Amino acid sequence: MSHLSTVDPMINPPTSSTRELENFIGGNWTPAQADSFLDVENPSTGEVLAQVPASSKADVSSAIAAADKAFKDWARTPVSERVSYLYKLLDLIRRDEESLARTITLENGKSLPDSRAEMKRLVQNLETACGMPMLQQGEKLIGAASDIDGEVIRLPMGVFTMFGPFNFPAMVPFWFIPYAIAAGNTYVVKPSEQTPCTMHRITELIEEAGLPKGVFNLVHGDQAVAHAFMEHPAVKGVSMVGSSRVARMVAEKCAANGKRFQAMGSAKNHLVVMPDSKIEEVIRNMITSCYGCAGQRCMAASAIVCVGRETYDQVIDKFVEASRDVIVADPLDPKVANESMVCGPVISHRAKQRIHDLVEAGLSEGATLALDGRGVVVKDRENGHYIGPTVFVDVKPGMSIHREEIFGPVAVILMVDVLDEAIEIINNHQFGNGASIYTQSGHAARKFKIETEAGMIGVNVGIPAPVAYLPFGGMRSSQFADIKAQGRAVVNFFTQDKIITERFWPDEER
């Protein structure tokens, strides 16, 4: 997953020719109290799109104060009225869905089909959160004891915050924001400083939807803003998606400060190929899973485990051949804009260099590079951060290219003799986000579903990301939280159970 850090290229004062983004605090667009600004880069071209302020603690305090002030009235607002604003926002986002998808592609570099799919998931989460009148209902037990009834009610808590990743600047914030607001809380979000324009534009739509002032707030910035969220006494909880290193730090700091936390970390998602799999379908599926979004998604497959030598040889032959055919290009080039499978750039020069370093590490550890994408050049886009599909074979568990999340278009292929060994490799890995099996055997699929220690399991599905109605999250070092993102499950994060035990004696007869 993405990492909590400052933008790579430059920290410069704003120029008159570059748009300077503002914060949205208490219902107003407000210039940040910032001494420095970060360039927001189009990774496909190197062009500077905007400048995002490195907001101060004073900016954070203002946003949290606005949210705290708005909370009392918002919590008392009937849930049907709260979700009415989400319905308005839903209409506005559907109206501007295509332009938002293009904004994602412009600042992130993923293909237009991938950006459109991201917008569909955002819409799906909004639709799900509109069901809060059902999702937030409590429980009632009549006759818990003699003439005594028991009841559980779920109440909003106050101000919640999140900081988002660069790789899904629209979808990931909506794993949290609409549920928190619909449940009666108020919210402050910090989008990734590398891809802030998407959430900035969505905030303009939130303003257009007429949400009461202070219920939703936006503060741009770098890791200083995230730390301020975790330190502020008025904040009840923090959600984030990023690397496991950062997720662990967030979990520890929030726990020390008495806050709830959802800290989603890194991944190394495995695809297990059984001898009975439909190999042609499998290869097409794996190509999309490994190279979509240039491999920069937490559900991207990056480790392929083949059961048996024949399966291993067949997968290598066909997967490497198919990988050579993947289009590497600027996703907004009209010639490829609507192609279903385009591998765009990685997010930054720093990310590209890190991937190159890991490729070198893999070679030094004895893995074989069956396909090297490091030398790819996109014509007229020489300043873009491109890496073509890259495939390692002869990979052993424990090698750095298998152990680490590479977060790029790099796949590693391993071989085992039986399914039990494949499951053991997955279960011994530090991450447990997602895993899939390709098989026609119901027995093998059932064994894999039950025994594999990963939070999200796929059967003949290369990207086992659940729809918005179901929870999203991993295991082990892929998630530092008890409550997963999105759907009914996340409502428990944004509400406090209050348990009531009551009885009433009869009035005295007159």
Please identify every residue annotated as catalytic: 298
Q: Can you tell me the distance from the alpha carbon of 171 to that of 226, in angstroms, rounded to the nearest whole number? A: 19
Helices (H), 365-482: 400-403, 419-427, 442-451
Q: Can you tell me the distance from the alpha carbon of 52 to that of 195, in angstroms, rounded to the nearest whole number? A: 9
Q: Which residues fall within 8 angstroms of residue 167, CB to CB, at 6 or more apart?
A: 1, 2, 108, 110, 195, 293, 296, 297, 298, 347
- 212: tokens are 């009461």
User: Nearest 5 degrees, angle CA 33-CA 38-CA 40?
Assistant: 130
CA 295 to chain centre: 13
Return phi, psi of residue 103, to 5°. Answer: -65, -40
Contact predicate 67/186, CB 8 Å: yes
Q: Can you tell me the distance from the alpha carbon of 150 to that of 334, in angstroms, rounded to the nearest whole number? A: 62
User: Nearest 5 degrees, angle CA 195-CA 197-CA 203?
Assistant: 125
Task: Please report how the helices 442-451 and 419-427 are oriented relative to each other, as an axis angle in degrees rounded to 10.
Answer: 20
Q: Can you tell me the distance from the alpha carbon of 469 to that of 314, in angstroms, rounded to the nearest whole number? A: 37
Return phi, psi of residue 192, to 5°. Answer: -60, 135
Contact predicate 493/262, CB 8 Å: yes
Q: Can you tell me the distance from the alpha carbon of 178 to that of 323, in angstroms, rounded to the nearest whole number? A: 38
Closest to 301 (Cα-Cα) out of 325, 277, 279, 284: 284
- 436: tokens are 């899939």
Contact predicate 153/498, CB 8 Å: yes
Contact predicate 209/24, CB 8 Å: no
- Could you write out the DSSP letters of every residue in 140-200? EEEEEETTEEEEEEEEE-SEEEEE--SS-TTTGGGGTHHHHHHTT-EEEEE--TTS-HHHH
Distances (CA, A) of 291 to 268, 295, 389, 433: 14, 5, 7, 18
3-state helix, strand and coil shares in percent for the chain, rounded to the nearest 5: 40, 25, 40
Distances (CA, A) of 112 to 101, 105, 172, 340, 342: 7, 6, 17, 9, 9
